[in-house]
Every structure is written in C-alpha cells, then in structure tokens.
Chains A and B, each alone.
Chain A
Amino acid sequence: MAIPSVSAQDEQRAALAKKIRLHALHMIHRAKSSHLGSAYSMADLLAVLYGRILRIDPQKPDSADRDRFVLSKGHACAALYAVLAEEGFFPKEWLEHFYENGARLAGHATHVGVPGVEVSTGSLGHGLPLACGMALAGKRDGQAYRVFTMLSDGECDEGSTWEAALFAPHHRLDNLIAIIDYNQIQSLGTVKEVLDLEPFADKWKAFGWAVHEIDGHDCAQIERALTDIPFAAGKPTCVIAHTVKGKGVSFMENKLLWHYRAPDRDEMARALAELGDSE
C-alpha cells in the first residue's frame, strides 16, 4: 500500500474530524442533551488518535496487545461514540439512539455492550488512575501496548488526578500518554475564574512528566506530538492541547452555554452550514 501524501493525510484527518462533529451535532440535537462544546474541543484530537495513532482493530476490540484509550472526560462521549462508529467498532445506526430508553449509548462513556469503549467514565478524575493501572500492568507483562487517556482541564481540580500524576513518573510509565483538552472552560465559568491551573505545564513538569504543549486543532501538530512518544524515555507523556470549546461552529466557540445547550432547529441549520454538511 502506498503511503498517503502529506496533504492526503491532512484531508483524511480533517474528514474524520468533520464526521465526528456532524455526528455529535445530530446526536445531541436529537437527544436534546449536553456537552457539545466539550465534544468539539477534542474532535480533532480524536480524529488523529483513531485515524492515525492507536493500534487497534475494530474486529478485535479486546485483543490483549491493543493500545488502550481511556476517555476520562466521559461527558464528551458523543464524539467518542461517533469516532468508534466511523472506525467500524459498531454500526453507525446506534448513534441515532444516543440517550434513548433501552439503547446502549448513555450520556457518559459506557463500556457495557459498546465495543471499543475501554472503561465507563462520567464522574471526573477516574481516568488517569485507571490508565496508570493499565500502563503498569503492560510494563510488568512486557507488553508493547500504549495507554492514552483524554482529560478535561476541569477534572484537574480532582485530587485523584494528581494522585495519579504523582504515581506515573515514579513508576516510569513511559507507555502512558495523558492528553489534556485545555479548552479553558469548565462547568460554571472559565478555568481561570473557578480554580486556576496555571502555571499548568510547569505543574506536570514538576511532577516528572515529559510535557508538550500543542494546538489541539492543528492535526499535523497533534500527529507529530503523538507519533514522537515517549518524549523522554522513562517518563510518562503529557500533551497539553490548547483547544477551543465548541470549536468548528462560530457561535458555539468559547461559550460556556455550549457546555449545556442542545442546538435547536435554527442553530442546527447554521451549524450544519458552517461545518460544511454535504450529506
């Protein structure tokens, strides 16, 4: 198979990110649910992870040597379900039943009966400890798999996140990659207003992580960062991805409201136009 050219790779990643955003839009509109802004801030990160980085096989979602992806910010699961459906882990038709009575796809990442969802999350601060356990088991078993976890900035308020942040470098978990979707907005305000995390990168460095800060919407930059891991042998990787809540739809960008609001019909039409829906 020929290696796709750089521009073809760009197109692939962008196309997948667009599909994630379109699915999430329809899902959240239909369900009248929330967290679209949180799904959009990590849509490009997920597109690169699933399209280019993760060593996973939708036909064998439980294979022992698979890379693990733990979505710690489980409330943004619409984007995760969307990418899993696009990658063939389960039928895209399931997305139409997000939030529905009797359906499988709950409003926070749910592993039960959903191939590809590694663990159920929803309460914040659980993902990094779980990922540490998987990474440590991988190291001790001599397995080559990597463990990726996506955290929100808000859940860096949780003590359990910092317990794990202390643990991973001590145990030299260089097969662990924490990606932080640093969109700067949490539940009741900006991160700066609620509980400032700065100097954020310095905190992770001080804990012993190898840290890269990237533009979380620049797919080429994301891919470069996630291809270079570990940044330093013996150190866990922390990628602080600077993102925009609601990225992709102008009137949702950087708006706290879109942590909660489900788009109405008018907003749907405008969002679809901006996202370039051609279907």
Chain B
Amino acid sequence: MRGAFFDALLTLAERDHRINLIVGDLGFGVVEEFARRFPERFLNAGIAEQNMTGIAAGMALSGRVVFTYSIANFPILRCLEQVRNDVCYHNANVKIVAVGGGLAYGSLGSTHHATEDLAIMRSLPRMTVVAPADPAEAGAATRAVAARPGPCYLRLGRAGEAQVHSGPIDFQLGKAIQVSQGSDLSLISTGGMLETAVQVAESLHHAGLQTRVLSMHTVKPLDADAILAAARETGAVFTLEEHSVDGGLGGAVAELLAEAGAGPHTFRRFGLPSTFSPVVGTQEYLRAQHGLTAKAVASAIASILEKERTFAATCTG
C-alpha cells in the first residue's frame, strides 16, 4: 500500500502544484523521490510531530494541500490536539497519512501498534477516515482524499501486500465496495483485513453459506445504505478489522444498526480486544493470537450461525 500511495502522490503532485508532503523524519527509501522532484513542496519537519502538524495547518491555511506522513500512531496521537484544534477546527486541508496501521509493525512492540486510531480519528469533527484494503484501494484513496477539501486520515498497511480486488474498482469515499454477493450473511471489513474476509467467504461457501463481503474503506463517513441493506437482506452482520473492537468499524456499525431499529438477528465484531499485546510477534502471529485468521473467523461465524439455527429450530419446533 505504501508504494501505491507514493505512486499516486507523485502523479498528483505532478499535476497539482498545491500538493505538499511533510514527513516526520521517517520514510527512508520512499520519500526521496518526492523530495528530489518537488523540493519546494517537500519538508522533513524532524522528529517533532506537534510542530509538523501545526506547520501543516499553517501551510494549508495559506492555500496548500498538505500531506503529513509518519508511521503508526506518531502523526495522530503524539499531536492529537494539533490534529483536533489546528487541523479539524480550522478545516485545514491536511491529509494525515500513517503507514503501519493495525499490527503491521507487529514485532516492533505495542508502541508501534496502531490499534485505536480509527476510533480516535472517527470521533473528531470534520475528519474523514479511510483505511484502504489493498494497493488498488490505497492509490484510489490517495487521489480521493487529495480531491476532498478538509481534514482526512489515511491509514495504510505496510509495503508489498497482494491485490485483493481482481478487477478495476469503483472507489468513492463513503461508499463501500461490494466484493462478493451473498444472502446468508454479510462480512464487512476495513483496511487490510479484506483479504482475510474474502478467504472467510470462500471457506463458508464450502460450508454452504453465501457471504456478502463489503470493503468498508471509509470508516467516516460510513456507508449507512450499504450496511442497512446488508442487515436487511442477509440478516447476519459481522465486522472485521485489525483494530480494537471498541469504537472502530465494529463500533460504528453497531451504533448505526442499533439506532436504525432494523437490526440483523445476528451481529458480531471481530477485532482486537482492548489490551496491549502481552507477547512479541509478527503481524500474522499476533492476528492469530487474537483469532483474526480466516480459519478462526470462519469457524466462529459458522458456529454462531449454527447456534442461531438450532435455537430457531427449537423455537419453531
């Protein structure tokens, strides 16, 4: 996703002289081309995220479209008040880009796990929150946030992820992409968990369950129409994210469904518990520790739906 982001950004910067990139002294091997080609629109602010974000807002208020770039929590949590006051309150045209969303930096330890970012960014007024699923979505998301006036948060995975979408995608902020059709259940994922979601759907297919998979790349504003249709038409809704189950995609979907009063008969959030990882491990290892593999999620869903069926049969029988 990182490569797709920079490719898209370079193309945008070529066409639009307002595009600026400010980095917090991170991005070795990937930011140099932008710096070389657009030196007057590049800035390394040093390891000083509060100042970086204030500067970004000040530059945006002077007519620029400013991308800030760092890893994991650094561009949002260290400088959260600057994000809230300087960027959001002033509706400044700042696009915050974090590479290493979720557990991408698994072995680096809990300081580098961005696992509450969606919840925190989602709560800020004016903030658009986007977590693309694969390189194709990441490139499209970069173009979309650049074109959207005002604050945006773009949560990227790492480098070298596989493409999940097999063909061209219709990427619009606030509109989910339906990856597969299905009437038995809906599985809504955000960010890089889409790959797992697709594998879950394949696995459930073998068990006779047809899954509607939605890539909810935009967590805010949420695609309420797609979620309500999924609840109405499939009856069972599951969310999947590499993020705390508190307040992220699952929380957002739960809020929507509860208030709509047209809830599905089954709803469950798959994500991370609100804890710090007690063990060291790679992204894959830590996902597995928390039941976020395709096998574990498919098995959990099958078991939940089976219980529902048994219960329903008991009631009607």
**How would residues 141 to 158 of chain B score, 1 for a CB under 8 Å from any chain A CB and 0 otherwise?**
000000000000000000
Q: Say if the beta carbon of B57 comes within 8 Å of chain A.
A: yes
Asked if A120 and B85 make an inter-chain contact with CB atoms under 8 angstroms apart, the answer reads yes
Closest Cβ of chain B to A172, distance in Å, is: 13
In whole angstroms, what is the CA distance A167 to B55 when docked? 10
Given contacts A123-B85, A126-B82, A167-B48, contact A137 B54 (CB under 8 A): no
Residues of chain B lying within 8 A (CB to CB) of residue A131: 58
Q: Say if the beta carbon of B89 comes within 8 Å of chain A.
A: yes
Number of interface residues of A (CB under 8 A): 28
Closest Cβ of chain B to A242, distance in Å, is: 27
Asked if B90 and A136 make an inter-chain contact with CB atoms under 8 angstroms apart, the answer reads no
Stretch at the interface among A93-101, A157-165, A260-268: A157-165
Asked if B58 and A133 make an inter-chain contact with CB atoms under 8 angstroms apart, the answer reads yes
Q: Say if the beta carbon of A197 comes within 8 Å of chain B.
A: no
Asked if A126 and B48 make an inter-chain contact with CB atoms under 8 angstroms apart, the answer reads no
Q: Say if the beta carbon of A138 comes within 8 Å of chain B.
A: yes
Residues of chain B lying within 8 A (CB to CB) of residue A134: 58-59, 61-62
Asked if B89 and A120 make an inter-chain contact with CB atoms under 8 angstroms apart, the answer reads yes
In whole angstroms, what is the CA distance A132 to B56 when docked? 9
Residues of chain B lying within 8 A (CB to CB) of residue A229: none
Residues of chain B lying within 8 A (CB to CB) of residue A193: none
Cross-chain contact of B57 among A122, A133, A135 (Cβ < 8 A):
A133
In whole angstroms, what is the CA distance A141 to B46 when docked? 22
Q: Say if the beta carbon of B86 comes within 8 Å of chain A.
A: yes
Closest Cβ of chain A to B87, distance in Å, is: 10
Cross-chain contact of B58 among A121, A137, A160, A166 (Cβ < 8 A):
A137
In whole angstroms, what is the CA distance A166 to B64 when docked? 23
Given contacts A133-B56, A140-B40, contact A160 B82 (CB under 8 A): yes
In whole angstroms, what is the CA distance A35 to B62 when docked? 31
Asked if B62 and A133 make an inter-chain contact with CB atoms under 8 angstroms apart, the answer reads yes
Residues of chain B lying within 8 A (CB to CB) of residue A166: 46, 48
Residues of chain B lying within 8 A (CB to CB) of residue A137: 58-59, 62-64
- Interface members, chain A 95-124 (any B CB < 8 Å): 111, 119-123
Closest Cβ of chain B to A118, distance in Å, is: 8
The residue of chain B having its C-beta at the shortest distance from the C-beta of A74 within the complex is: B85
Residues of chain B lying within 8 A (CB to CB) of residue A135: 58
Q: Which of B62, B85, B89 has the most CB of A within 10 A?
A: B62
Asked if A130 and B46 make an inter-chain contact with CB atoms under 8 angstroms apart, the answer reads no
**How would residues 59 to 81 of chain B score, 1 for a CB under 8 Å from any chain A CB and 0 otherwise?**
11111100000000000000001
Q: Say if the beta carbon of A51 comes within 8 Å of chain B.
A: no
Given contacts A111-B90, A133-B62, A137-B64, contact A126 B54 (CB under 8 A): yes
Closest Cβ of chain B to A115, distance in Å, is: 15
Asked if A136 and B59 make an inter-chain contact with CB atoms under 8 angstroms apart, the answer reads yes
Asked if B48 and A132 make an inter-chain contact with CB atoms under 8 angstroms apart, the answer reads no
- Interface members, chain B 28-66 (any A CB < 8 Å): 40-41, 43, 45-46, 48, 50-51, 53-64
Asked if A130 and B58 make an inter-chain contact with CB atoms under 8 angstroms apart, the answer reads yes
The residue of chain A having its C-beta at the shortest distance from the C-beta of B51 within the complex is: A163
Residues of chain B lying within 8 A (CB to CB) of residue A121: 85
- Interface members, chain A 131-184 (any B CB < 8 Å): 131-138, 140-141, 159-160, 163-164, 166-167
Asked if B85 and A129 make an inter-chain contact with CB atoms under 8 angstroms apart, the answer reads no
In whole angstroms, what is the CA distance A130 to B54 when docked? 5
Residues of chain A lying within 8 A (CB to CB) of residue B60: 133
The residue of chain A having its C-beta at the shortest distance from the C-beta of B79 within the complex is: A160
Given contacts A120-B89, A123-B85, A130-B86, contact A136 B55 (CB under 8 A): yes
Cross-chain contact of B51 among A64, A111, A132, A141 (Cβ < 8 A):
A132
Asked if A167 and B61 make an inter-chain contact with CB atoms under 8 angstroms apart, the answer reads no
Given contacts A123-B85, A166-B46, contact A141 B62 (CB under 8 A): yes
- Offer 23 A-B interface pairs, CB within 8 angstroms, sorted by A: A120-B89, A120-B90, A123-B81, A123-B85, A126-B86, A130-B54, A130-B86, A131-B58, A133-B58, A133-B61, A136-B55, A137-B62, A137-B64, A138-B62, A140-B41, A141-B62, A160-B50, A163-B48, A163-B51, A164-B54, A166-B48, A167-B46, A167-B55
Chain A interfacial positions (CB closer than 8 Å to B): 64, 111, 119-123, 125-126, 128-138, 140-141, 159-160, 163-164, 166-167
Chain B interfacial positions (CB closer than 8 Å to A): 40-41, 43, 45-46, 48, 50-51, 53-64, 81-82, 85-86, 89-90
Nearest first, the 4 closest Cβ-Cβ pairs linking A and B are A133-B58, A129-B54, A163-B51, A137-B62
A-B contact sample (14 more), CB < 8 A, given A129-B86, A130-B55, A135-B58: A123-B85, A126-B54, A129-B50, A133-B59, A133-B61, A136-B59, A137-B59, A138-B62, A160-B50, A163-B51, A166-B46, A166-B48, A167-B48, A167-B51
